[in-house]
Amino acid sequence: MLGPKEKRERALGTRLGLKGERSLSPKSAMVRKPYKPGVHGPHGRSRALSEFGLQIREKSKFKLAYGVDDKYLRRLFAMAQAARGALGAKMVELLERRIDNVVFRMGFTPTRLAARQLVLHGHIAVNGRKVTSPGYVLKIGDKISVREGHAAKGHIAKQKEFLKKYDAPAWLRLDPEKLEGEVLSLPQNVEMPFEINLLVESFSK
């Protein structure tokens, strides 16, 4: 039986990497059933979405991919408004700087959900201090590490071989042997499977 995450990806028609490596494999639901879920199967008709419908769909993609809710996105939008620069780019930057996302981007876990669990369970430290809030926003110069005594647990042990050949994004530094890294710069030009401008429009009304 296909998991609900893959079912939601099919409903949105976009791969969001919610199942890690499985999302890129032939076992992926998007490969085996490249159509929306429902009783009509592959022959069901898709209706054109209105502008509002498109905005809702893109918002759903953001919420699923980053594991956030409407309340958080509204707060993020307010933070982006108060900052300098383009609203959309600032929202993406703030999302990418969340500690759960950075742990995922560094390759410590195969998915953001797994990274969130790692943070919640107290396995991650920032500048030597334990952080248990997945929404903690990192800044340039912050050092992220797997806490001493926790390196061999769960997903991290499984990821060690993967990390040896993994290239972290340019804005992050990764030391795969010490299981630590650093934020070198603000994230820019992040490739995303959704339209940030539609999300901005939905909150700008």
Confirm whether 201 is domain-assigned.
Answer: no
What's the mean pLDDT when you consider all of the chain? 80
What is d(CA 59, CA 138) in angstroms, rounded to the nearest whole number?
Answer: 23
Confirm whether 104 is domain-assigned.
Answer: yes
Confirm whether 61 is domain-assigned.
Answer: no
Sheet holding 180-183, edge to edge: 129-130, 124-126, 143-146, 180-183, 172-175
**Domains contained in the chain, number:** 1
Confirm whether 137 is domain-assigned.
Answer: yes
- Condensed to tens digits (0 to 9), the pLDDT of residues 137-147 reads 999 999 999 99
Q: What is the pLDDT averaged over residues 4-12?
A: 56
- Condensed to tens digits (0 to 9), the pLDDT of residues 88-118 reads 889 999 999 999 999 999 999 988 988 999 9
Q: Please choose, from the candidates 46, 28, 26, 21, the residue with its C-alpha nearest in 3D space to the C-alpha of residue 36.
A: 46
**Other Cβ atoms closer than 10 A to 3:** 12
Its pTM stands at 0.76
Instruction: Give the CATH number for residue 106.
Output: 3.10.290.10
Confirm whether 146 is domain-assigned.
Answer: yes
Confirm whether 167 is domain-assigned.
Answer: yes
Confirm whether 108 is domain-assigned.
Answer: yes
197 — pLDDT class (breaks 50, 70, 90): confident
